[in-house]
Amino acid sequence: MPQAKAFSAASATSPLAQTAIDRRAATPTDVQIEILFCGVCHSDLHTVRNEWASVMPTVYPCVPGHEIVGRVTAVGAAVKGHKAGDLVGVGCLVDSDHSCPACAADMEQFCPNGVFTYNSPDKHLGGVTFGGYSESIVVDEKFVLRVPTNLDLAGVAPLLCAGITTYSPLRHWKVGAGQKVGVVGLGGLGHMGVKFARAFGAHVVVFTTSPGKKEDALRLGAHEVVVSSNAEEMGKHAFSFDFILDTVSAAHDVNAYLHLLKMNGHMTMVGAPETPLPVSVFSLIFGRHSLSGSLIGGIKETQEMLDFCGKNNITADVEVIPIQRINEAYERLLKSDVKYRFSIDMASLKNA
């Protein structure tokens, strides 16, 4: 059985360390990929430290990573859409049941039998799937995406999660020219939300608790920046937003933003706070406001997003690191000490 170098966690309290993992031999419908870059998502940290145990308990050893960009090294005999040498991506999903209503609607992210890139049951090898903190991966061709060749690959990697997580709700709620759109939080998700909303033609307002982020928000494409702790600044925007994208994963007052929506305005949550957030019904009924959540995107929509990024020269702002600095990166991630995503140069593992 083929093996690959990887970085894994042995327990919730263990640092990530180099190891070797099994990878399946390619089936006729599989694509074998040499991983070039892998983005670091906050979900990786949550999973490694078993912080989502009540919803998705972690099975160890755990190899995280679901923002994968690589080069095809081989394909199965039945594969038609990819060939050796192609630049490709793999996001948060590597399989589904292909038969449920969600799959039929090209929304595999909602498949009740979806298989995540890591920490999901592995029907081929048993145990759980291993992710992109590895030198290679084998994936069913239906879950392998084409990567535009004109983009910086380190910056493409986070598009496979942070990118599609923000692109999908903006597209679903038809954000476009003539609309006023708010983005709450300017982190790994928020900075992508700003780029997409601006590219879609909206008037973009960033809400942040950090006054020092104003200059960066404007650089990324925001038209205005509001410090959310300033009641006067918030009040100036009351009842004026068509859509607000909330990217914050910490506890915060969602009602303060619901009050900023105009009649029939909508707000979508893509951040995932660990504790429930109180929602006042009055924040919804006065103005017929609505509140929803959104989870990544299906394979078809993720490909659409990558193609859009290629045409509009959109990538994530990244700090490239070697895999040997991943534990340090996790500690910095907890302090929001990165602009705005870490991207691992996997050559550092291959050459280790």
| Structure-block tokens of residue 87 | 């630049």
Q: What is the pLDDT of residues 44-55, one digit of tens each?
A: 999 999 998 888
CB 190 within 8 A of CB 184: yes
From CA 254, how far away is CA 6, in angstroms rounded?
A: 39
Contacts of 136 (CB under 8 A, 6+ apart): 2, 4, 23, 32, 33, 34, 35, 70, 73
351 pLDDT tier (thresholds 50, 70, 90): confident
Kindly tell me if the per-residue pLDDT of 252 is higher than 90.
Answer: yes
Q: What is the pLDDT of residues 90-104, one digit of tens each?
A: 999 999 999 999 999
pLDDT at 54: 86
From CA 33, how far away is CA 147, in angstroms rounded?
A: 13
Q: What is the pLDDT of residues 191-249, one digit of tens each?
A: 999 999 999 999 999 999 999 999 999 999 999 999 999 999 999 999 999 999 999 99
Compute the radius of gyration of the chain from its Cα atoms: 20
CB 265 within 8 A of CB 243: yes
Cβ neighbours around 215 below 10 Å, total: 10
Q: What is the pLDDT of residues 115-142, one digit of tens each?
A: 999 999 999 999 999 999 999 999 999 9
From CA 247, how far away is CA 165, in angstroms rounded?
A: 9
DSSP code of residue 16: P
Q: How far is CA 124 from CA 4, 106, 297, 350, in A?
A: 16, 24, 24, 25
From CA 267, how far away is CA 275, in angstroms rounded?
A: 19
**In the predicted model, what is the mean pLDDT of residues 278-284?**
96
Please report, as a single letter, which amino acid is at residue 162: A
Cβ neighbours around 24 below 10 Å, total: 16
**In the predicted model, what is the mean pLDDT of residues 144-155?**
98
pLDDT at 273: 87
How would you write 97-109 as a 3-class SS string? CCCCHHHHCCCHH
Instruction: For the chain, list the domains and their CATH numbers.
Output: 3-161+298-350 (3.90.180.10), 162-293 (3.40.50.720)
CB 111 within 8 A of CB 99: no
Kindly tell me if the per-residue pLDDT of 352 is higher than 80.
Answer: no
Average confidence score pLDDT of the chain? 96
Q: How far is CA 276 from CA 208, 252, 291, in A?
A: 21, 10, 14
CB 352 within 8 A of CB 325: no
Kindly tell me if the per-residue pLDDT of 291 is higher than 90.
Answer: yes
Beta-carbon-side half-sphere exposure of residue 102 (alpha carbons within 13 Å): 15
